């Protein structure tokens, strides 16, 4: 299961990188079109807003896998192995709790946008559910990764590794 989640998180991270490159090119073309020929891409700002949400939320599990979420270790630096392990478990439980709330709320939001046929205002009438659904997918995959990391922490116990290094394949 962990290998599957890691593979999906890698794919989402690469998709987000590709999306960032696309967004940079898209904005460049739109701005150049606006200044040189007087015409920009319709709904360019709305498209960028929607893609920005997708780009931010999809790689959440990848960041967790790499252990690169922001963490403040000023209190845990002086703890022993067991203390760091307990803090890691507490952090994972708190993360699971809050990501469960975000995942459930974002699912309801995406489902409502899909059922209602919600669109962004503009000439292209872009649907809202893909952008809102990416919040659900990204936070849901992070939730699964947090649960797997918690199980790994219980199974492996304290180790000499850094306190927030995730469970390896």
**Residues 153-165: tens digit of each pLDDT:** 888 877 755 445 5
Tokens 């990764």: give the residue.
145
**Residues 82-122: tens digit of each pLDDT:** 888 888 899 999 999 999 999 999 999 999 999 999 998 88
Q: Residue count of the chain, please give it.
A: 169
pLDDT score of 21:
95
The pTM assigned to this predicted structure is 0.82
CA distances from 30 to 34, 56, 157 (A): 6, 22, 53
User: For residues 166 and 169, what is the distance between their CA atoms, to the nearest angstrom?
Assistant: 9
pLDDT score of 163:
47
pLDDT score of 168:
55
pLDDT at 124 over 80: yes
In degrees rounded to 5, what are phi and psi of residue 127? -70, 145
Q: What average pLDDT does the chain have?
A: 88
Nearest Cα neighbor of 96 from 150, 158, 134 is 150
CA geometry: angle 87, 89, 91, nearest 5 deg: 70
């Amino acid at each position: 299961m962990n290998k599957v989640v890691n593979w999906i998180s890698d794919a989402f991270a690469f998709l987000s990188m590709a999306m960032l490159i696309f967004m940079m090119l898209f904005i460049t073309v739109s701005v150049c079109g606006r200044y040189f020929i007087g015409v920009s891409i319709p709904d360019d700002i709305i498209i960028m807003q929607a893609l920005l949400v997708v780009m931010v939320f999809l790689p959440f599990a990848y960041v967790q896998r790499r252990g690169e979420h922001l963490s403040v270790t000023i209190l845990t630096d002086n703890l022993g192995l067991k203390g760091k392990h307990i803090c890691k478990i507490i952090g994972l439980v708190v993360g699971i709790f809050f990501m469960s709330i975000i995942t459930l709320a974002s699912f309801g939001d995406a489902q409502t946008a899909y059922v209602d046929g919600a669109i962004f205002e503009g000439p292209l009438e872009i649907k809202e559910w893909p952008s809102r659904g990416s919040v659900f997918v990204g936070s849901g995959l992070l939730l699964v990764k947090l649960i797997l990391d918690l199980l790994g922490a219980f199974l492996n116990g304290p180790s000499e590794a850094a306190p927030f290094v995730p469970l390896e394949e």
